Structure 1
Amino acid sequence: MDTKWKKYKYIIYTKTVIFILACVSFSMFWGLSYKLFEFHDALYSQNYYETIDFQSTIGRYTHNVVELNTKLINDEKVKEYLSGKNVDAENVRRYKIIIDRLSKNKNFIYYIKDNKTGKIVTNIVENKPLEIIKNQPVYMYENQWNTNYYTNISDMINNTEIKVYTAVRFPLKSGDEFYDDYTKFINDRKVVLNYIIAICICLAVFFSAFIYFLITAGKEAKDDNIKLLGIDNIPIEISTISVFASAFLSVLIFSSFNNVYSITFISFIDAIIGMTYVLSIIRLLKAKKMWQYSFIYKSIKTLNNLFFNNGFRKTNIALFAFYGIINGILFYSLCYFKDVFVLLTFFIFLVIAFNFACLHYFSKVVVSLQNIIDAIEEISTGNIDYEKKGEMLPELKYVMDDILNIQRGLKNALNEAVKGERMKAELITNVSHDLKTPLTSIINYVDLLKKEELDEKTKREYINILNEKSQRLKQLIEDLIEFSKASSGNLKVDFSNINLHDLVVQSLGEFEAKIKKADLEVVVNCTDKNILVSSDGKYLWRIIENLLSNAVKYSMKNTRIYIDILKDDAYGIFSIKNISASPLNIPAEKLIERFVRGDVSRSSDGSGLGLSIANSLTESLRGVFNVEIDGDLFKVTVKIPLIL
């Protein structure tokens, strides 16, 4: 007997030690993994030149030399400072910072040449500096900056003939950021290797221990009998919920105390909980008794017929019947207990507990029904902003959801109706104003022609004015009709294959005279001249015409209109940018509403329908229309589906 106990105690000690070892290795795995990711560059970069530190530093130095030799060197304040004057200005301070930073550099080399003036600036004393730069392992040049930092480097040398080449001289000399970062990278690589080895050891220990428990769980001897522990009596549902709850709590703790020590400690606790749970499942599976310990299985088996019908009324009738039957059995059982203590214990722990649980459930039913009634009353009186109050039983939640869906539908319908009335009022007001102005002029000039004795020159002037105003009136009416068709969706669209580039170029040709008259310059940027879109050529041309007309009409004189023609995976894209002559003091989305102009004084010849028509036509062509405003910069982007 004593020998058997010693053997049993030895097994317990052995499994306890292996269990703790598994939990420790698991927690150390997570702690080391978290620590490992602190060495991001050493972990993911093959060499120093691929690190974020290197790219950031060379990007910053490149930005400094470009800024120094393009922007700062031409600044008036800097020139005054260089001439010997005591100047305190932002650019002067910036100049001093960059000069000081470059003077301390040991490894960064650069070569800047202005092809226009022939001026060369470099910190390389040897001959053939450009070849020296190109012989380095990594160098940056022209507009092909292989770094994600300081993307405005290109902006500073755009529209110039300045060429910039920068590099880091290899081998590195000590005494600057590059050398320090390089040394740190080499040391970190060694540390990362040690961490990876330690992580692999932890994983090997953990999986070895897990496999050991997988084989020996529930076995205390060489026989095939599986021995269950006291913890295995906990219903599988409760243990599963507990494990997931602890995991969720661990995630919250990790986010609050995000350091290696807290992660290691919490991982150790999680490992104990998780291993205990998994080993319990394994023992139950080996013993083939998992379902016997399942509360769900027993509940489904007992109440299957009672809850077979999902209807709310039948379910609650079944619940009331179940409540009456169980209560009858409980109270009938009280008659068979003669001992007062046993009688009280049975009454308190079964009868009272069962009735309290039922009362709690039925009170929730009543509260849920009352919440539904309150919602119906509030919504029926016109309170469409009513919000759901209180908790709902799952059996009644779908009813409340349906009521709230009706509420949202009413609210959306009311908002649409209000918006429609507002837009109708605006339409009447703006149409009246825009039609009345040219019509009044026509009437006045016709009266002048009738009543006064005018010479031929004056008559021709009046007739020209009448022609201009009548054409203006005609254009307004045509725009109104076109807008009505486009916004109502009554357009007949014939889709065909359209070359977006050719159509834009053709439109620009027709606007050439107007563009020159407005003292504007058009800059076209096209990445692909063979962008085929699925569209109606007539309506797509109308969209482009409206946007070009808008740009010519409202652009500041002596500025440029930028047109980009490109494509992505799904759309052919046409965008147009211009500088507005008048301040754009309204939101971008407001500009595409009907009869709204950037010229808020309404002194221009526009009808205010151009962008709205373009937007509606784009939607009819299954495209995307977007307006952006940045200060006085106005940009419109039209996306038309590609032919796939």
Structure 2
Amino acid sequence: MGIKLKNIKYSKISKVIGVIMAWLCFVSICGSVFFIIENEQIITCKSYYSSSDYISNFTAHVTSIVDYHIWLKSAKNEKEIWDLHTIEEDGTIDEKIASFHNATRIISNNLNFVYYIENAETGEIITNVKEEKPVEFIKKQQEYVYINQRGVNYHTVVQYHLGRIGKKIKGTPYEVHAAVLKPLKPGDGFYDDYIYYKRTKVILVFTIIFMVLNFILLIGALVYLCYSAGKSEKKEKISLSFIDRMYADVHTLTAFIILACALNFILRIIRDGLYYRSIISIFTIIILLSTVFFTLLNYVLSLIRQKRAGKIQKNILFLNALKKIKKFIKLSFNGKIFRVWILFFLPLYAFINIVFAFVAGFNADEYNGEEIFLFTVAILAIVNLAAVFITARGLKAISVIMEGTKQISEGNLDYKIDTNNMSLAFAAFAENIYNIQGGLKKAVDEAIKGERMKTELITNVTHDLKTPLTSIINYVDLLKGEELGNEKAKEYIAVLEEKSARLKVLIEDLVEASKASSGNILVNLEKVNLYELVMQVYGEFQEKSEKAALDIRINAADRNIFVLADGKHMWRIMENLMSNVLKYSMKGSRVYINISKSQTDGILTVKNISALPLDISAEQLTERFVRGDESRTTEGSGLGLSIAKSLTYVQKGKFDIEIDGDLFKVIVEIPLWNNH
């Protein structure tokens, strides 16, 4: 049932029916509006006696009896009549004759119009009232007027223009009484207009109701057409019409032109009063209204279909043109094309200066060349000032870009180059630098993230290894306390003890390396004597160094070099350096430990000869798990130098390694105590 309803809703037949219904309603509404506008005065009038038709008819009757019985009668002959008309109306003879016959026709057909004309001098009376007292009879009517040589007096709810009639009677002895009977009798124009008024009043009520119903149907049809626009009973995608291929702004302009032309023709027909005179005029208006309707409907539905298909922004010619222009401008001010622009503008600038300078020099001494000279000098000044402004702006942009590159090179990857006041060329250059900056920042963030993950992994693994290792060491100690008769078992226990102790040291190194590299380590800075520290560590390793046949020589220019450091961390640094010396130095060689200072730092230098070739860079040696002995024939975790470097940095010191052939040198610099 749902599928059938969907097919009916989105079928072409339903859409065609909706279009036809909307069109008929639209034309009907327009026709109703025209009819209401034409009879607007009937709607606003309270009764027939306040309508414009009644006012016009009443005025025409009063004018006719005055013209016929008084004004024309006062003329001596026909020639004077035409002359009076000429003075009064300035019309042609044909128009005067038509007016005379019109007055005769109106007077002869006035069943509901009564009048009484009296000549006060002669006593002559002209009237169509059969009552004994005609004046009193006229005054009893609801609508009447009284005119004499002094002016016009009326007793009526309407206003009409009787000023011209007053001028015609002015200076004559005539008095005019006129009125319209009530109720009206059938047989003249007043009655016919009254019947038309009543019928039209009723028709207008039905017309308004009809218009409202059509408006409701029109809204319903338009809502349905908008809802179903682009939807099909078979396809889920939005179906586009051939008209949708037209650019939206071009479609808008075309629709506007069609609407303007159609509405102009409609207004011209209405203005000329042709719409009620012939079937052709009515048919023409219907065609024009249909054009307006279908143009608007097609335009709106096309926009809806494009909007639903997500193509309305892509289908705007103006935006597409702007994008292409913007792309062209960017290309024009980038790379090689930018250099082409420079090569074009520089000769042009030189050419303009040469030409205008030549013109100015040529007209400088001329008698009539002062104005040309001043004009060319002004042009030269404007051109050169513009060149200076552009150059200054470019230099400022270069300085801003240089400052940005300096900040980026110093590690400030969040620095933003301000491109607001730059030209397109330099803005594009700054944008490229910004893109490089973004790539560097992303790479640094990824590296930091990877380093953090490695540190967390090491921390977690070492934490998980500590508990079982502690158990192993404890059980080894327990086994050592047992009386074992088997010598082999004792050897195995000794190996277990040695290896577990080494593993414990390795795990402790891992934990310390992790803390040091992440900065998550407590630093207690205090006054430390660098020479005494070195001597204490040397005392711990003296026996081992003698076994390794190493001649360790300590040189100190000043034995009172105090540094601001953490004694515990400095001990570990020196301990790691001595362990490194014992593991990798050539047997029988000398090891030099020098203690000195600069203006700001205390300096500790350790130099030794490597037993094996150092086929590795100094930077790699300070990384975690990297050893100089790639064959791993010596014991070590590869963490000693890394830990020493990290501990140096947390004390705000410097840690450098230099390799010269087999000569290995470590330099540790720690801030002096005196500077703090």
Same fold (TM over 0.5): no
TM-score, normalisation: structure 2: 0.38
Pick the structure with greater CA Rg: 2
